[in-house]
Amino acid sequence: MLHLFLPDYLASANLLLFRTGPFPLSLLVPGINFIRKKVIPVWVAGLFCLGAITFPLNRITRTEWIAHIANLVLLVPSLVTGWLLVNQQDKY
């Protein structure tokens, strides 16, 4: 059924939707894919990847300042991606 909705991105959609597993890894895979496909600026995709790494680190250590940094690292690329999507700036 997936082939009906995403015919041009079968491998990426399958990897993202079904093979990524837990939450942090499901951020790392699209971050790497965004870097490869240049859909968003590289620094934004890099922040997605960094957020995927810092999220479990803050959960394991339960350190407050790491949690704030991890949340900020996840918030910034989400806001920038939303802003780019709303303004339809897709040439990078």
Query: What's the pLDDT tens digit per position in 41-76?
Result: 999 999 989 988 888 888 888 888 888 988 899 899
Q: How far apart (Å, rounded) are the C-alpha atoms in residues 74 and 88?
A: 21
Q: What is the pLDDT of residue 29?
A: 83
pTM of structure: 0.68
C-alpha distances in angstroms, 31 versus 56, 61, 65, 89? 16, 24, 24, 18
Q: How does residue 2 score in pLDDT terms, banded at 50, 70 and 90?
A: very low
pLDDT tens per residue, range 20-29: 566 677 788 8
- Residues, the chain, total? 92
